[in-house]
Homo-oligomer: A and B are copies of this chain.
Amino acid sequence: MVNVAVLGYGTVGSGVVEVIRTNQEVINQRVGETLNLKYVLDLRDFPGDPVQEIITHDFEEIVQDKEVDIVVEVMGGIEPAYTFVKRSLEAGKSVATSNKALVAKHGAELLKIAKEKNVNFLFEASVGGGIPILRPLHSSLTGDVVEEITGILNGTTNYMLTKMFYEGANYDEVLKEAQDNGYAERNPEADVEGYDACRKIAILASIISGKQVDFEDIYCEGITKITADDMKYAKEMGMTIKLLATCKREGDKICAMVSPCLLHKSHPLFNIDGVFNSIFVHGNMLGDAMFYGSGAGKLPTASAVVGDIVEEAKNPGRNLGVMWSEEKLELEGKEELKRRFFVRMKGSPEVVKGKLAADFGEIEFVNIEGMQGEFGFVTALMPEGEYEKKAVAYQSEIISMIRVEK
* Chain A interface residues (CB < 8 Å from chain B): 18-20, 22-23, 26-27, 29-30, 32, 124, 130-132, 135-136, 139-145, 268, 270-271, 283-294, 297, 299-300, 302-307, 309-311, 314, 321, 323
Which residues does chain B contribute within 8 Å of A144, judged by CB atoms?
A: 19, 23, 303, 307
Tell me whether B283 and A303 are in contact (CB under 8 A): yes
Among B284, B300, B302, B307, the residue within 8 A (CB) of A142 is: B307
> Whose C-beta in chain B lies nearest to the C-beta of A281?
B293
Nearest neighbor of A134 in chain B, beta-carbon distance: B140
A141, chain B: closest CB distance, angstroms: 6
15 A-B contact pairs sorted by A residue (CB < 8 Å) = A18-B285, A19-B285, A23-B143, A23-B144, A23-B145, A32-B321, A124-B140, A139-B307, A141-B303, A142-B307, A142-B311, A143-B305, A287-B299, A290-B293, A291-B291
B293 touches A288 (CB 8 A): yes
Q: A143 and B302: CB pair below 8 A?
A: yes
User: Assuming A136-B136, A311-B142, is B288 touching A302 (CB within 8 A)?
Assistant: no
Q: Which residues of B contact A139 (CB under 8 A)?
A: 135, 139, 307, 311
Residues of B within 8 A of A130 (CB): 286-287, 289
A303 x B143 contact (CB < 8 A): yes
- B23 engages A309 (CB within 8 Å): no
- Bound-complex Cα distance A9 to B135 (A): 30
**6 further A-B pairs in the complex, CB-CB below 8 A; given A19-B285, A23-B143:** A32-B321, A131-B289, A144-B303, A285-B300, A286-B303, A290-B293
